[in-house]
Structure 1
């Protein structure tokens, strides 16, 4: 057998490249958030709502194209879609450096959103196809950790670049172009094998053939991530305005605080598989909402910058538990031929949540009259949602025990 005929085995280098490709996937549109006040100053005729579309409108494009791009990857291959997506992310994202109007920036940010639509589902699907069992669970945690680190690097980097001017932060998106050669070398299109595992409690995954897709847990994951990302993106889109009102801080400090959310998301995602041994997926979602709600509540009641940073870190830690839980659950119940579409649907849910956050934030700001009130209100909602999920998890466990007792 010649070397070219040997079956491809995904090694550490392949995993690292996939993690690099996924780094901008979750907070890529919010990378320039530290520069929003500066962009408002550069374009005084543009309203705050219009300026906020720079980070909240691209997710709409991601949401609208996510399912289609997932289906395309099912038909034409993950690697091709990933390369094109990285190129579009890098070129469309960096275009803001050269543009001189808010409308032009927003137009190209829509194409940035289309590029993002191909990153998360293709990387998640490739990890699902390359690995299985506990290894897959561990790598799903690493995937979410990489996205958290990406948030830290992108937003902190943009905060530093914003010290120069509002334009420089857009150059951070060229990162996507730099990853393309690595994908060409280390990523191969996997063979299709119609086998998966069942994800129920913890990481016990008995082998089974999945022939029919159960849509109920799929919809539950989608709705959960939709609500969670609304909460997370209120931090990304509004905290810079809160900081400029409550304290005289630089854009670098704003970027560092936003990066805290990404850093702690990475910390919790890295150890996700340890949590998953003890908690069911519904309980993991409950923990996510508890932590996000508590973090937002703290931000809303904070009196100084360190406390605001602590609240943002809690929000990120919560998201880091929930995101890999959703990906792992979906990958375990989905037949391989539908993986691209289902993971694309996850992207739709996530980025519709990001887009909806701008409207939720505007309504809460109008209702409460302050950014503190906005964060306080959504924090209480998050805690209450966490209670509902935990109660549902306990009732589900009780029902299973009763059924087991009747057998």
Structure 2
């Protein structure tokens, strides 16, 4: 029998049109998963001191901070699948409510094991928030508008890191090691806006007699693997920033924080530059981003002074700011709307898996290669190879950025 296209289902079709307020709410929601790790960075020494009597605390306390990223990597595809079936708005609303409640819970907990358990649940909620917020941007906006909001999402997450670290530090200063956990209550007003303002997007549901809509695996798998690689090399420069700068001279936390802020601004600028490449293809943008990453990593490895190292880090982050919206926009473009949640979940999972794996991969390579500078040169070389492969693919590639 022939496939049937249902385009008038009253449960799915709406007359709503997305506007700036919808985009802002989704951007605010997308910032929440990034806050889970960033806000705790200033109080990590306090938490280590507090749980120093717990066996294996040197490993367990950082795990408590980073385990949400692993949960996002593992559960994002499932969250996307659920949102395809149950609807985006309800999944996002409940995930934000769980995020606020579970995120606050460690403020009252005294056992490290209980805190880690709460952070695991938090990570599952984050998986739903990040995946559904991104899928809704793709559902609500098309063409130039979608590209603009994707770029704003990447830039906002990077810029929010500067503010969130500062606020987390102030809360830690006045309220102790648990102070930053109060920040998770910010999800409550966002949940209220989601409930009052957002709408379930209009979708065409394709029914077939033999099978459900399938993901275009051949098209998205290379993009997902590239996203994983970009996630690893991006978070390498973030989590190893202090050690990278220390290759040239002794650095203080204030210096690391200042240059870290510059790196995040570099990511944001790269995201906005992405929109300026009118008509550019995906391979073109990937080659530019990876070339900037290669130059930045090479400069950081070979630099003999702090100024050049700082400039190199910012150059690399400009490249990442171009790469991230490129990868996300490209994946969204390839996804049929009926499986957009699942596809977005896979992209989110790959990116956060890169975030979780970065310090593990770099630590292992440092042990094998005998120094961080050699690891940085290896990343630069791999980025250069990736840029060359992308250049080869430019001929005949369709434009990704709208005119």
> Shared fold by TM > 0.5?
yes
Provide the residue aligned with 2:141 in structure 1: 131
Provide the residue aligned with 1:32 in structure 2: 40
Q: How many residues align?
A: 376
- Contact preservation (8 Å) 1:145, 1:267: yes
Q: Alpha-carbon deviation of 1:167?
A: 2.4
Q: Alpha-carbon deviation of 1:50?
A: 2.9
Provide the residue aligned with 1:274 in structure 2: 276
- Contact preservation (8 Å) 1:293, 1:378: no
- Contact preservation (8 Å) 2:22, 2:197: yes
Q: Alpha-carbon deviation of 1:314?
A: 3.4
- In 1, distance between residues paired with 2:29 and 2:313? 25
Provide the residue aligned with 2:349 in structure 1: 348
Unaligned runs of 5+ in 2: 1-12, 207-212, 399-403
Provide the residue aligned with 2:185 in structure 1: 174
Residue from 43, 54, 72 that aligns with 1:62: 72
Provide the residue aligned with 1:380 in structure 2: 377
TM-superposition CA deviations, 1:363-386 (whole Å, max 9, x none): 1343456xxx33x33432332233
- Contact preservation (8 Å) 2:159, 2:268: yes
Q: Alpha-carbon deviation of 1:323?
A: 1.6
- Contact preservation (8 Å) 1:24, 1:154: no
Structure 2 residue 76 is matched with structure 1 residue 76: no
Q: Mark the CA change 1:124 to 1:40 in structure 2 (over 3 Å): closer, same or farther.
A: same
Structure 2 residue 257 is matched with structure 1 residue 249: no
- In 2, distance between residues paired with 1:298 and 1:92? 42
TM-superposition CA deviations, 1:121-173 (whole Å, max 9, x none): 21221111112122222222112122222222222322343444332223223
Unaligned runs of 5+ in 1: 196-210, 402-407
Q: Mark the CA change 1:297 to 1:114 in structure 2 (over 3 Å): closer, same or farther.
A: farther
TM-superposition CA deviations, 1:336-362 (whole Å, max 9, x none): 110000001111111211221232133
Provide the residue aligned with 1:326 in structure 2: 327
- In 2, distance between residues paired with 1:394 and 1:330? 19
TM-superposition CA deviations, 1:176-222 (whole Å, max 9, x none): 22311111122111110379xxxxxxxxxxxxxxx874323311121
Provide the residue aligned with 2:223 in structure 1: 221
Provide the residue aligned with 1:16 in structure 2: 24
SS of residue in 1 equivalent to 2:115: helix
- In 2, distance between residues paired with 1:100 and 1:300? 42
- In 1, distance between residues paired with 2:171 and 2:118? 20
Provide the residue aligned with 2:337 in structure 1: 336
- Contact preservation (8 Å) 1:297, 1:378: no
Q: Mark the CA change 1:132 to 1:313 in structure 2 (over 3 Å): closer, same or farther.
A: same
- Contact preservation (8 Å) 1:65, 1:114: yes
- In 2, distance between residues paired with 1:54 and 1:243? 26
- Contact preservation (8 Å) 2:298, 2:380: no
Q: Mark the CA change 1:230 to 1:190 in structure 2 (over 3 Å): closer, same or farther.
A: same
Q: Alpha-carbon deviation of 1:263?
A: 2.6
- In 2, distance between residues paired with 1:85 and 1:179? 11
Q: Mark the CA change 1:385 to 1:217 in structure 2 (over 3 Å): closer, same or farther.
A: farther
SS of residue in 1 equivalent to 2:37: coil
SS of residue in 1 equivalent to 2:109: coil
- In 2, distance between residues paired with 1:107 and 1:302? 42
Provide the residue aligned with 1:404 in structure 2: none
Range that drifts further, 92-101 or 224-233: 92-101
- The alignment's TM-score, normalised by the length of structure 2, stands at 0.82
TM-superposition CA deviations, 1:85-138 (whole Å, max 9, x none): 222333333333333343332222112211110122212211111121222222
- In 2, distance between residues paired with 1:81 and 1:88? 11
Q: Alpha-carbon deviation of 1:244?
A: 9.2
Provide the residue aligned with 1:201 in structure 2: none
TM-superposition CA deviations, 1:202-256 (whole Å, max 9, x none): xxxxxxxxx8743233111211111222222234434457779964634x66555
- Contact preservation (8 Å) 1:10, 1:130: yes
- In 1, distance between residues paired with 2:94 and 2:257? 29
